[in-house]
Amino acid sequence: MATKQKKSAPKAAKKVAAKTAAKYGYFDDAAKEYVLTTPATPIKWCNYVGTLNFGGIVDTTGGTLVCKGDPALNRITKYIAQMPCSDFKASTIYIRIKEAKGYKVFSPFVVPTLTKMKKWECHVGLSYMRWIAECEGLRTQVTIFVPTGSNTLLQDIQVTNISGAAKEVDIIPVYEFSHFEAEKQLTNADWVPQTMTLKGHWEKDGHVVLEQYAYMKRDFAVNYVTANCKVGSFDGDRRVFLGANEMGSWAAPLSLANKELSNSECDRGDNIAALMIHAGKIAAKKTFRTCTQLGQEQSLKVAAKAIKKYRDLKNVDKAFDELAAFWQKYLATIQVQTPDAAFNSMVNVHNPRQCHTTKNWSRYLSLYQLGYGTSRGIGYRDSSQDLMGVMSHMPEEALELALNLLSVQRPEGNAMHQYAPLALAEDNGNEANAGDSREKKGVLDENGNPAYADWYGDDHLWIVLTIANYLKETGKMDLLKKEVPFYEAGKKRAQREKGTVLEHLKRSLNFTRTHLGKHNLPLLGFADWNDCMNLPLGAESSFNTGLYAKALLEMMDICEALGDKKSVEMYKGWYEDVKKAFNDAAWDGKWWVRWFDKQGNAYGTNKAKYGKIYCNSQSWSVISGIASGERAVMGMDSLNKLLNTANGVKSSTPGYRGFDPNVGGISTYPPGAKENGGIFLHTNPWVMIAETILGRGDKAFQYYSQINPAAKNTKLDEFESEPYCYPQNILGDEHKQFGMGRNAWLSGTSSWTYQAATQFIIGVRASFNGLIVNPCIPSKWDGFKVTRKFRGATYEIEVKNPKHVCKGVATMVVDGKEIDSNVAPIFTKGVHKVVVTLG
């Protein structure tokens, strides 16, 4: 099987590789990769492969967390995220070289052998990871990915002899399995190991397929590991593989001292899949290539087709090319060329990529959200927002998830906080839950009534924005007539009340309209966007006010497009009512307050000692238009003065100084962390959007740039988090570790920063009448270019800024003809040139 080594990346990539060796790695924009040059990242970094249907996390030292459909209920590999970076986590590869006496063993991932490498790179790519490691005269290239639409994780391993003499080499890939119920694996050491089963199936020609399942899944879902080539032996029992009753370690498994493994099956216990692949003598300059498969199907019989397919290396190459083609097409939806390289890199590659990830995994599975039990799942508010980040790229996939969300909306109009995807598919009447509000269930107020709501004040409102987004992007108004069930716990879908999508949206708005507090402002519910502020029932929220008002604006657009003037007028009335109530009650003198508790006490007021000012009431009152004129500007200026830092805008200040049971969650964090005065990044794009609405492009761009992770690549000892995606939070300036990022990947920051950048700074957004071009940019820019696909046509847009303004379209020329607005018409096909001059 000696083949020529497959080229790893385009030539341009090599050029960049001469580069600016930042301490940990560099961006290779031509290859659309981040290239890590050391395994010793400040904290664990990772990448995602596949989708929620099959896929998961691959960390930078070869650990893989693979699930199918649901991380809590169908987990495949046992990745314990809390173990140190240096420990084995669910998978590795050992490379073994025969020496005069015994063997030399190393892992190209560094972990778990911790061998020093001559050269080491981890290429974080678009849904793949690739390592290039040089050690002991061998160059190993490993690529891990999931072919589009498949249930298989491939590991393409190529070992090239770069020394002068032939070497006898073995390759030993290993996976460790988890019980499918992820939490049980950690909490039950009796039942779980009794059920875990691994069997080896030899094929006549020397191939082996290792089959693994928990006993009760034997006839329904089996995991398997196999390779494209013959293997000498295998091990399925961890104790046997590590040796000496597990006094042998992952760093140095004792079984690797023997020519062959023991062919151990595992009738109970810790199941692994270790294959002994004899590459044989690799001559100088020659390459040995093999590819392993880890998959799950109903049975090995069902798996046979996929096994056969990916045993052919041509199909492996084809699958990799298809993956690249998917991303090429996906990213082509919106491409920008602006004077700012870090902006281009984020907007053209990494941010849309992260949006694809949050769309898939919501807040379910990351190195921070570990995907155990029912504490998470697909979040109603989170996913509604995530979908807006992929709407231009994959509207139909987004819609599918949006309809699932609508199906866990209650008939009353409010929504369940989250659902488990597998339970939804099983239609068991128990698929959704009320999130953290369950913790306060049963707490009574002074009158013996429930003290806290079991619903969130914001969940059901986000989906109005999401559906409006879909309709504007696609123009498919028929969706509004589609019937979707409401959620009635305990009932099967068919028995539940149904309503059209339009009816669902109406009930969302109506719920808020009929759940107002003392000041006629929308009730908080258990929480609004800020999960950590759980005031007793009766509290009102400025955030929900802004979101409700924005949702009303979107609904007016929808009704207008439907020609339903009466409804437009009605919702306009509701909008004016809430705008007035907000202006009457929520102005604090220099900014907008954030909440009122049920007694009417304000939070986020200058009079308070802690939490004097909150970011979201300033930004959302501008986004929704309920703040206008002087107050809108003053609120945003106060935000700038009191909340802005060089690393981003803090969500509030000052932070609470100790646990206060009256405010709960927010005060469990030290000041400067997370919602308690930390830089909760999700709020930052709202600030950018609000500034573009005020026309202040320089400020909007400053807010954009100060949180751009790509720009932090030279500050990683402070930032620590992956520079190729947004983290959820950065510690604020009240904290000693100001500037440190945490909770990478699964954050609403991704969708909203993408929206802020593309729709408000670049200013190109879908509407019912066409493509709006209304940029708000730094005044120093001479202009920029953007290509946008919209309703079947491609718009090549050039924006000129001869007068160096931030905002204001003076002229728009479409295909050579000046038009009297800044909305480019809907074409449905072809390439169209749009030239916009600001001034």
Question: Residue 651 Cβ, how far from ligand GLC at the closest point, in Å?
Answer: 8
Question: Residue 259 Cβ, how far from ligand GLC at the closest point, in Å?
Answer: 51
Please check whether residue 793 is in contact with residue 832, taking contact to mean a CB–CB distance below 8 angstroms. Answer: yes
Question: Residue 390 Cβ, how far from ligand GLC at the closest point, in Å?
Answer: 17
Span interacting with ligand GLC, options 6-14, 493-501, 525-533, 590-598, rule CB under 6 A = 525-533
Looking at the Cβ atoms of 60 and 357, the one nearer to ligand GLC is 357
Question: Residue 595 Cβ, how far from ligand GLC at the closest point, in Å?
Answer: 14
Beta strands in 284-360 (DSSP E): 287-297, 334-337
Q: Rule CB under 6 A: which of 723-752 touch ligand GLC?
A: 728
DSSP per residue over 732-745, as a string? -TTSTTTT-EEEES
Looking at the Cβ atoms of 454 and 675, the one nearer to ligand GLC is 675
Helix axes 542-562, 501-513, angle to 10 degrees: 140
How many binding residues for ligand GLC (CB under 6 A)?
10
DSSP per residue over 9-40, as a string? S-HHHHHHTTS---SSEEEETTTTEEEE--S-
Binding of ligand GLC at residue 459 (CB under 6 A)?
A: no
Question: Residue 665 Cβ, how far from ligand GLC at the closest point, in Å?
Answer: 8
Beta strands in 298-400 (DSSP E): 334-337, 378-379
Binding of ligand GLC at residue 226 (CB under 6 A)?
A: no
How many Cα neighbours within 13 Å face the side chain of 796? 6
Binding of ligand GLC at residue 54 (CB under 6 A)?
A: no
Give the residue ranges of DSSP H helices in 707-834: 716-719, 748-755
Q: Rule CB under 6 A: which of 329-388 touch ligand GLC?
A: 363, 379, 381-382
Whether the CA torsion 719, 378, 540, 513 is positive or negative: it is positive
Polymer length in residues for the chain: 839
Looking at the Cβ atoms of 195 and 383, the one nearer to ligand GLC is 383
Record the tokens describing residue 255, joined without a space. Answer: 């079984």
> Position 168: which residue type?
E
In a 10 Å sphere around its CB, with 0-12 CB exposed, 13-18 middle and 19+ buried, how is residue 712 labelled? buried
Question: Residue 541 Cβ, how far from ligand GLC at the closest point, in Å?
Answer: 12
Span interacting with ligand GLC, options 469-477, 529-537, 541-549, 757-765, rule CB under 6 A = 529-537
Looking at the Cβ atoms of 287 and 508, the one nearer to ligand GLC is 508
Looking at the Cβ atoms of 91 and 383, the one nearer to ligand GLC is 383
Q: What CA–CA distance (Å, rounded) separates 263 from 383? A: 45
Span interacting with ligand GLC, options 159-167, 328-336, 528-536, 760-768, rule CB under 6 A = 528-536
Q: What CA–CA distance (Å, rounded) separates 615 from 628? A: 17
Binding of ligand GLC at residue 656 (CB under 6 A)?
A: no
Looking at the Cβ atoms of 194 and 374, the one nearer to ligand GLC is 374
Site string for ligand GLC, 672-701 (x = CB under 6 A): ---x--------------------------
Beta strands in 468-525 (DSSP E): 483-485, 498-500
Looking at the Cβ atoms of 728 and 774, the one nearer to ligand GLC is 728
Looking at the Cβ atoms of 327 and 543, the one nearer to ligand GLC is 543
Question: Residue 385 Cβ, how far from ligand GLC at the closest point, in Å?
Answer: 8
Q: What CA–CA distance (Å, rounded) separates 774 from 799? A: 10
Span interacting with ligand GLC, options 310-318, 518-526, 527-535, 605-613, rule CB under 6 A = 527-535
Span interacting with ligand GLC, options 61-69, 219-227, 275-283, 524-532, rule CB under 6 A = 524-532
Question: Residue 531 Cβ, how far from ligand GLC at the closest point, in Å?
Answer: 3
Q: What CA–CA distance (Å, rounded) separates 494 from 511? A: 24
Q: What CA–CA distance (Å, rounded) separates 591 from 614? A: 9
Q: Which residues of 10-48 are buried (b: 16+ CB within 10 A; e: fewer)?
A: eeebeebeeeeeeebbbbbbebbbbbbbebebbebbbbb
Looking at the Cβ atoms of 363 and 410, the one nearer to ligand GLC is 363
Looking at the Cβ atoms of 242 and 420, the one nearer to ligand GLC is 420
Looking at the Cβ atoms of 253 and 389, the one nearer to ligand GLC is 389
Looking at the Cβ atoms of 192 and 666, the one nearer to ligand GLC is 666
Q: What CA–CA distance (Å, rounded) separates 693 from 256? A: 64
Q: Rule CB under 6 A: which of 530-549 touch ligand GLC?
A: 530-532
Record the tokens describing residue 494, joined without a space. Answer: 């068919």
Angle at 458 between CA 404 and CA 790, to 5 degrees: 55
Question: Residue 524 Cβ, how far from ligand GLC at the closest point, in Å?
Answer: 13
Site string for ligand GLC, 194-213 (x = CB under 6 A): --------------------
Please check whether residue 824 is in contact with residue 771, taking contact to mean a CB–CB distance below 8 angstroms. Answer: yes
Q: What CA–CA distance (Å, rounded) separates 51 from 394? A: 14
Looking at the Cβ atoms of 588 and 675, the one nearer to ligand GLC is 675
Binding of ligand GLC at residue 457 (CB under 6 A)?
A: no
Long-range contacts of 242-246 (CB under 8 A, 24+ apart): none
Question: Residue 424 Cβ, how far from ligand GLC at the closest point, in Å?
Answer: 19
Please check whether residue 556 is in contact with residue 575, taking contact to mean a CB–CB distance below 8 angstroms. Answer: yes
Give the SS3 label for residue 97. strand
Looking at the Cβ atoms of 154 and 756, the one nearer to ligand GLC is 756
| Residue 425 CA to its chain's centroid (Å) | 22
Q: Which of 529, 595, 596, 745 binds ligand GLC (CB under 6 A)?
A: 529
Question: Residue 669 Cβ, how far from ligand GLC at the closest point, in Å?
Answer: 11
Kindly list the residues in this chain that would bind ligand GLC in the complex (CB under 6 A).
363, 379, 381-382, 529-532, 675, 728
